[in-house]
Chains A and B, each alone.
Chain A
Amino acid sequence: MTLTETKMDNKIGFFVRNQSIVVPIAAIFVAFVLGGILIFLQGVNPLVAYRAIFSEAWFDSDGLLRTFQKTTPLVLAGLAVTVGLRVGLFNIGAQGQLISAALASALAGIYITNLPPILHVIVALFCGVIVGALWAGIAGVLKAYRGVHEVISTIMLNSIAIGILDYLVSNPFQEPDQSLQRTKKIAETAVLPNIGVIPFGFILAIIICLLVSWMLNKTTAGFRFNTVGKNKFAATYAGINMKLMVVTGMLLSGGLAGLGGAIETLGITYRFEPAFNAGLGFDGITIALLARANPLATIPAAILVGTLRAGGASLQFETGIEPEIVDVLLAITLLLVSAPILAKYLFKGKAQKSANVTSGWGN
């Protein structure tokens, strides 16, 4: 073997070892190429369209703030799905948990008065976290004690949350003299400030991300989570209380989604309006799968999705392409990271098997 061949082997080896990074990046690349073809078919130069997205999202101080604002709840929604996946639960109800928390913290921000600024923010955030956790907790209890699969129960709870919130903001908590279905603005004392172009909530989300990563990788609780997620039978045999783990996992997952909704209300929208947070929970699924259920990797994944969401709005204005192209880009990326096609094509026999994380009915 010559020296150059060995070097080549090392290089390929590097890529094979780092599949979990290489595959998502390749997936994003392929998605942009395919998306580019779609944009081209609509008579627009794809490069112009992509430049419109990124220049709006990154190279404009208003845009940059908006990108971080979009990213913040996405980090937490992605983290919520990630934590669930690590315990073998597929929480596709982050959406419902996030919006109920967003309303809860808005109400805390409006109707609790006489609190000093910092305490008010903490109380309002806390209300959101609790409501998000409890909403997911329903699915956890149904799964642990009645064997109802969390994918179905959380999707039902999404619809139920949407209906209840729709009622609450069009009747008891609607802003007076307002035809839009939305609440009043929260009190000044409950506002999460921006620090330059960085919202304070973003910093909070990053800290939570680090904490969750530490919890999952360095603590006994995290070890239990991973054991349950990897092998239920081994976990039961080792004496881990499965019912308790399922409920805890859902509570934690819902709490994270809830924090995302609370931060969005207190730091970005300052009130609750149903249209504000449409789709965030589902982007959370994309982010978690893109990050391969690694809590730290949810940050770059969320930044990517946040960028596309923030830049997508200006796309229609500048090129006439509908902002839903972002949904297509994300859908293709999701398909390529979750299906093993790309990994098999790139690495042949050395491809890692895609994870089996979820359970069947009633177990």
Chain B
Amino acid sequence: MQPGHFPANIVFILLFVAANGFFLFTVYKLYRIMRLGQAEDRFDRAWGRLQGVATFVLGQRRVINEPAGWGHFFIFWGFIIITIGSIETFGVGLYHGFAYWKFLGKGFTAFLYLLQDVFCAAVLIALCVALYRRFVVKPDRLRYDDQRAANLDASIIIGLILLLVVLLFGARAVEYLLAQGASTRYFPRTAFISVWLSTIFSGLNNETLHIWYSFFWWAHTLVILGFLVYIPFSKHLHLLGAIPNIFFRRFQPVGQLTKMDLEDETVETYGVSAIEQFTWKQLLDLYACTECGRCSENCPANLTGKPLSPKLTIHHLKEHLQQVGKLWLNQAGALEKLETFNPDGALSRTLIGDVCQHDELWSCTTCGNCMEHCPVFIEHIDKYVDMRRHLVLMESNFPTEVQNVMRNWETNSNPWGLGFATRGDWAKGLPVKTLAEDSQVEYLFYVGCAGSFDDRAKKISAAMVTLLNEAGVSFGILGVDEKCCGETARRIGNEYLFQSMATELVEIINDHGVKKIITTCPHGFNCLKNEYPQFGGNWEVYHHSEILANLMREGRLQPVSGMEKNLVFHDSCYLGRFNDIYEEPRALLKSISGLRFSEMDRSRNKAFCCGAGGGRMWMEETLGDEKINNARTDQALTLNPDIIGVCCPFCTTMLEDGLKDRDMEEKVKVYDIAELLVKTVLKEKG
């Protein structure tokens, strides 16, 4: 059965067509299952999308953020280079005389062979490291609820690639020997590893070498075809899912949730309570998941023992999708909606409750760490929020303590439920005008609920007023006319309440002809900046860290005194990950002389959430082995700070609570950047 000779070439063609046919058929089925999802437009910006593929697929930009990712980098590129070799291998299978050098030239072939040898070796090393990690190091992020099945899957994949490379080396070593003295063959010495390995077979006669060559060729080919058949059934489905998923990634701001159509009266259900109610892109996410676990490794809920691991959520959704999809393909036939499809009650598992647990959905702080670190751009938060939307809008099913908060928003437009008429009272006696008194100001200072009602956050608002006046900025507030932005209601899933709040606030702000807005709360900042354009609110929105950093640069604010203190800075999720503002607060703090600035391990885009986001501020935290805010406080305390610097009123509350829990509230203080700046820029009034 020498490859490329009759009848071996016929056998090869049959096997090749069968394997590829089976593979394509499986992929087609997966495609049809994905198309069960709802419509979503992800076809704009073709050029940007291609650039994304270049950066994040070919360049493996996010993969190599972790040391282990370099292993993947080499396996990925090895895979591509080996595939180029496989085309030659398959060519030989068709006709024994096929060879690249005959039409690519000897020089280029020599280069190609060198590359192949180097990458094959790199892949072998990377695979050994992968095995070592999985079976010896056992990092947390490779943990599954069914560890054996996951390890088996991984082992099969690693084993197959390992075998594939070893057999390839074997074939090449023998090929080198066969090429010696044969004018019809060419095997460049640049493939130095293959040449070196050929010593194993030296001394064998030509006939034996041909037998070895046939063995290696067939074994190698069968492994490739076997791999092809196995891919769609394993987590290596990501080979197929990841590239389109990166191509179709979101270009809207990460901090923008989808706007639900609440006007359409034909809609009968809201949110997502069945897998096919996700959009096709949300389903493609599931195919793209490699289960690398970077999401869970950075998830504050997961790290404090809550029943939420983004990796497992995606894994469970994928299993469920495949189960539903398989039943549907086998029994329902045509591509139609699945709403009432449940043959013989086979789909006994409900999406919410069985596949995803209630506590899982409510544990998410929407901090965005999962999405930030996902190498293939899976969008986790939207899925959690979509399911929350169903629970809130359709079933009125949410943690009981949330109901009061929603009523408070409805009645008094703030989560504390304090009388709406007292909203502007924090500014009594302060030198600040309302827009009703003077609308000819440059900036609206949108104070937000915390800044207006929470005693601690009111001090931050007051500090901001002092600083803006000191710098001579023309600004005003809405005072009693201000309303809640609704950010939290939206993240809890109450899109109806959010939309009514957003519509109202947009009208109020637009009525005053506002162009520029300053906020001290990153949640309001993100919401006004990234979500309000959905409701006709188009303004320049700035977080106070941006405004203050700018005033400092322009010399309109000048530190006149310093402070000899140790400061640890805590990033706000909605400022950093969602809006890419890392430098401004740092620049401000570093401008204060004497202040010794230090960073936690989990900082910047890896910053650990304070635990307040996604409505968690208003829910009891009873699950897990640690409260998120306490865990974050501990991380800060390891650096022995005098001050924890923050730039969010909710972070302030959470970390102060953490300090109280650790009996450290006397020794360590939490200050907003504005409060720290007030202490240093104010001239001594004589």
Chain B binds chain A? no
